[in-house]
Chain A
Amino acid sequence: MIETIIHVLVIAGLVVSAILVFYFRDLLAAALASGLFSFLISLEFYILQAPDVAVSQAGIGAGLTTAIFILAIRSTKRYEEDV
């Protein structure tokens, strides 16, 4: 029972963080929400009994990709503009 509740919470967090990535105008906050999405999907992999994939997802998705996004935002503008 408690496993199902955690599972539903993680999936709800996935949907919420994906919507947050779409709605943030601050690109640094959007990159961090994308990192949160990667972290939650690594938790989901762990719940689905694939700890091997979860470790690589946490390292590559939540760590390195977010670092590359932050480096790119440092060299360009932080806020999204209306076109």
Chain B
Amino acid sequence: MRMSKIVRFSADMLFGAILIFGFYIIMHGHLTPGGGFQGGAVVATGAALVIVAYSYEEVLGMIKKAGLMLQESAGLVMFAGVALIAIGLGTTFFFNFLANSGSLFGMSVPYGPNSGELNTAGVLPLMNIAVGIEVWGGLAIVILYMLSGISKAEEV
């Protein structure tokens, strides 16, 4: 069972915009309100829109359950891995070893009120990206399992 053509077309049109907005919230997590969890929830809302609009078989052609599980695990491994690299460098767990280093996200914060330099804050953007990937996969797979139970109920 699928929804009408109007619903499917609207979901297709809105999916890209919601995805871009979610990535914007994730990437600006250390500068503006929001962060990994909020951005991941927004991206998962875009995925839920497509899942609601199409039938279960069509959704399985677009999204794989194993892919979403892999994505959730990859986010967790990235989060713990970045925290463990700090131990490998001889500092404490979760130490911000990239801040003010001049490399990736390593710029010093300029003086004054929030100037919105994206290339600052060290490992915090990496943590936000990890949490965003994980929440995206986790919340999308919750909706997908809800739909899979429903498709079995429709057959009976």
Say whether A associates with B: yes
- Rounded to whole angstroms, the CA-CA distance of A55 and B51 in the bound complex is 22
- Rounded to whole angstroms, the CA-CA distance of A70 and B33 in the bound complex is 29
Q: In the complex, how many residues of chain B place their beta carbon closer than 8 angstroms to a beta carbon of chain A?
A: 24
Q: In the complex, how many residues of chain A place their beta carbon closer than 8 angstroms to a beta carbon of chain B?
A: 17
Partner of B45, one of A52, A54, A63, A71: A63
Select the stretch in B73-81, B107-115, B119-127, B139-147 that faces chain A.
B139-147
Bitwise, A34-77 to B at CB < 8 A (1) or not (0) is 00000000000000000110111011100110011011101100
Tell me if B154 and A75 are in contact (CB < 8 A).
yes
Q: What is the predominant secondary structure among interface residues of chain A facing chain B?
A: helix
Select the stretch in B34-42, B63-71, B91-99 that faces chain A.
B34-42
Q: What chain B residues lie within 8 Å of A70 (beta carbons)? A: 52
Tell me if A51 and B51 are in contact (CB < 8 A).
no
Q: What chain B residues lie within 8 Å of A64 (beta carbons)? A: 41, 44-45, 48, 139, 142-143
Q: What chain B residues lie within 8 Å of A71 (beta carbons)? A: 51-52, 143, 146-147, 150
- Rounded to whole angstroms, the CA-CA distance of A75 and B33 in the bound complex is 37
Partner of B38, one of A55, A67, A68, A75: A55
Further 14 A-B residue pairs, CB within 8 A, beyond A68-B146, A71-B52: A52-B33, A52-B35, A55-B38, A59-B41, A64-B48, A67-B48, A67-B51, A67-B52, A68-B143, A71-B51, A74-B1, A75-B149, A75-B153, A75-B154
Q: Which residues from chain B sit less than 8 Å from chain A, CB to CB?
A: 1, 25, 33-35, 37-38, 41-42, 44-45, 48-49, 51-52, 139, 142-143, 146-147, 149-150, 153-154
